[in-house]
Amino acid sequence: MNNGDSNTRRRVLKGVAAGAAALAVPAGAKRPDRGRSLVGRRVFLESGVGLDLPAGANRVESPAAADALLLSSDTSIPRGRLVGALKRGAPISFVGAGADDALVSLLYDVRPSKVADASKSSALEKPADLSASFGVEYDRNASASVAVAWPRGDAVDTYQYRTDSPSQRYVLSRIDRTFELGGSTSDPTTSGATTAYTCPDAESGWDCLGRSHEEKDLNEHGQIEKFVWCAKAADETDPNRDYFSWKTKLSMTPGKALGRSDWMNDYVLRTVDFEDELAKHGPPSTSGSSSSSFSVGVNVGVSATGPEVGTNLGWGWSTTHSHTNIEETIDLVAEKATHKFDLKFGENVSETTFNAYPGYRIDPADGTTTANYSYTTDWLFRDDHWYGDDTYKYHMYGDGTWTA
């Protein structure tokens, strides 16, 4: 099923053929191993999932004995046993249509059929049996084929993968991708490193609540990726406010860069509508080639006698964009922020992977443990030719919930 909007003046058979050629393996070449991350691990594979484990993976018959669990999206394993697996550090992967519903169901203890309504109504609350923090952006546009809960210390990270063709090869490759991302440590704003954490640790005065990651393969048009990191200020003494901050990474790789087609990047746009007071947002509007720094940090601290103490809880980042117009639109009445990254078509920025890094901070009432918002994100790709141009927009929309 295609969930994007496409305005087309011609068929894209050329792009499909190019994609098929790009994915073909040359004669004599060896296909990369799929599921290599499971080799040497004790794996619980639920019956009916339909996966062949790679040689070297040790299949076990009990979830309690597993280092990794591969489950059906309509799993019959009791939730309590899965929570036990998370607590001892075992990642849980759900496979099949509705994997994202199964993921949220596990974390928030709601029935999978009720997840969409609960997310939309901000009714998701941390269950008593999970002490870890976590967050997820629930996409109401398309169902995920693979979704993973990855325990990491005091937080649980979430991963969602969407495709129109969830083959066994795809599923195993996405599980490998999750293991790769789970161990990443470098800074994604630096050249050559695109997948790491930037959540501050407790020493910087913030508690990292986790990371939400999502990928979508758009066939001949390209690929998109979204990372969201959330943290809550820990070392603040304000009796009236709490402080939640987010860093977002929006990635788009055009079909041209993948060798699939002539499609190129056009723009990426994200709007976030918060339920609480929007205090910081960025980057600000810029034009052309520019570098900018942005901080979601806060000066907080109230003494016993009343005057404010200048304690700084910093969290910020710098980015450089070439041939890119950034348009920031803020509505402080609705607590809404929109950032559009408009790329100059035909320049290198439109032909390679592009990363945008919008960020936000909200200041809800003291004692707040769950932060909610709704969001939309659009990625627009374009194929220009002598008799006109085609555009393809993938629209992602839904709700975010983060629980400390």
| Sequence-ordered alpha helix ranges (H) in 28-110 | 79-87, 99-108
List the single range of 24-33, 74-83, 194-203, 267-276 with lowest mean pLDDT: 24-33
pLDDT at 8 over 50: no
Residues of the chain above pLDDT 90, percent: 70
List the single range of 76-90, 93-107, 134-148, 299-313 with lowest mean pLDDT: 299-313
pLDDT of residue 10: 28
Cβ 247 vs Cβ 135: under 8 Å: no
Cβ 97 vs Cβ 145: under 8 Å: yes
Mean pLDDT computed over 200-204? 68
pLDDT of residue 26: 33
- DSSP strand E in 35-98: where? 42-45, 58-60, 68-72, 92-95
pLDDT of residue 204: 78
pLDDT at 87 over 90: yes
390 pLDDT band, cuts 50/70/90, is very high
| 362, burial (CB in 10 Å: exposed 0-12, middle 13-18, buried 19+) | buried
255-308 per-position pLDDT tens digit: 999 999 999 999 999 999 999 999 999 999 999 888 888 999 887 664 444 445
**Other CB atoms closer than 10 Å to residue 155's CB: what's the count?**
20
pTM: 0.86
Q: Does domain 230-404 have CATH number 3.40.50?
A: no
Q: What value does the mean pLDDT of the chain take?
A: 86
177-187 per-position pLDDT tens digit: 999 988 754 33
Mean pLDDT computed over 240-262? 96
Nearest to 198 by CA among 80, 116, 318, 289: 318
Nearest to 212 by CA among 175, 171, 249: 249
To which residue do tokens 């059906």 refer?
A: 72
Cβ 371 vs Cβ 362: under 8 Å: yes
Top pLDDT among 33 and 120 is at 120
pLDDT of residue 193: 41
The vertex-189 CA angle with 188 and 190, nearest 5°, equals 90
pLDDT of residue 201: 65
pLDDT at 354 over 90: yes
404 pLDDT band, cuts 50/70/90, is very high
Dist CA 36 CA 25 (whole Å)? 19
pLDDT of residue 312: 78
User: Which residues, including other chains, have CB under 8 Å from residue 182's CB and lie 6 or more apart?
Assistant: 91, 150, 152, 157
- Residue 401 phi, psi (nearest 5): -135, 125
Dist CA 395 CA 391 (whole Å)? 13
pLDDT at 83 over 80: yes
Nearest to 250 by CA among 368, 382, 354: 354
pLDDT at 196 over 70: no
Mean pLDDT computed over 18-46? 62
Domain ranges across the chain: 35-183, 230-404
Top pLDDT among 195 and 356 is at 356
Nearest to 349 by CA among 268, 241, 260: 268
pLDDT at 61 over 70: yes
